[in-house]
Structure 1
C-alpha cells in the first residue's frame, strides 16, 4: 500500500492549473500501474477525521481530528499488487507528491491473514 501525505494548507493554496497537472500525474501513475492497481482514493483533509481511542479503564473516547498534531496528514492511498518492493518503488517515483517539499509517500506491505 502506498500512503500519500501532505500539508493540507499547501494543497488548498494550489491553483487550478497546478491541480490539473497534479491530477494528470496521478492518471499517469494509474495508467503505468495497469493491472497492479487494485484501489486508490483521495481522502478528505485531516481536520475532518474522527478518532477513537480507549483509556486504561477500557472506555472509548471519540475526538475530532487525527491522533497526532502534525502538519502533514494522510491524504490518500493506492493499493497495488506487485511482485516486490522494487516494482512498487518504480511506480511510486511517478507520484506527483514527490515534486513538492511539503508531501511524500510511504510504502507498507498489507498483512495477509489466512
Structure 2
C-alpha cells in the first residue's frame, strides 16, 4: 500500500542554518532517500518551494477565487513529501520516524487512495 509522508516544519529554519549545516542536512535527507530506495519503499519525493510562492484557488458560488500565498497560516509549513510503498501503517510510521524531518518538524502519514479504487467506489 502507498503512503504519503507530508513533511511540515518552519520553513525559515533553513535560512538560519550555516552553509555547513545546510550541507549536512542535504546529506542526511539523501541518506534517508537512499535507504528508502534500497528497501524498495521509495516511490517518489520532492521538496517544495517556500509558501510565499504558493497560490491558492477556491470556487465559491461558482466563481474562482485566486489568492497569493497559502490558505493556512501556521507555525509549520508543508515543505515536501515522500510517497512510499509500505506493507501496512506500522511500517509507514516506522519510515516516518526515520525521516530527518521528524527531528525538527512533523511528519503526517496518510494512506493513498488509489485512483482505480476511487473510480469504482
Q: Same fold (TM over 0.5)?
A: yes
Segments of structure 1 that go 5 or more residues without pairing to the other structure are none
**Pairing 1:48-67 to 2, within 5 Å after superposition:** 48-55=53-60, 57-67=61-71
Which among 63, 69, 73 is matched to residue 77 of structure 2? 73
Q: Which has the higher helix share?
A: 2
Q: Is the 8 Å Cα contact of residues 32 and 91 (structure 1) preserved in structure 2?
A: no
1:16 aligns with 2:10: no
Which among 84, 87, 107 is matched to residue 109 of structure 2? 107
Aligned length: 111
What TM-score comes out, normalization by structure 1 length? 0.89
What's the offset of the Cα at 1:73?
Answer: 1.0
What TM-score comes out, normalization by structure 2 length? 0.85
Q: Which runs of 4+ in 1 moved over 3 A?
A: none
Segments of structure 2 that go 5 or more residues without pairing to the other structure are 117-121
1:7 aligns with 2:26: no
Which among 9, 26, 31 is matched to residue 29 of structure 2? 26
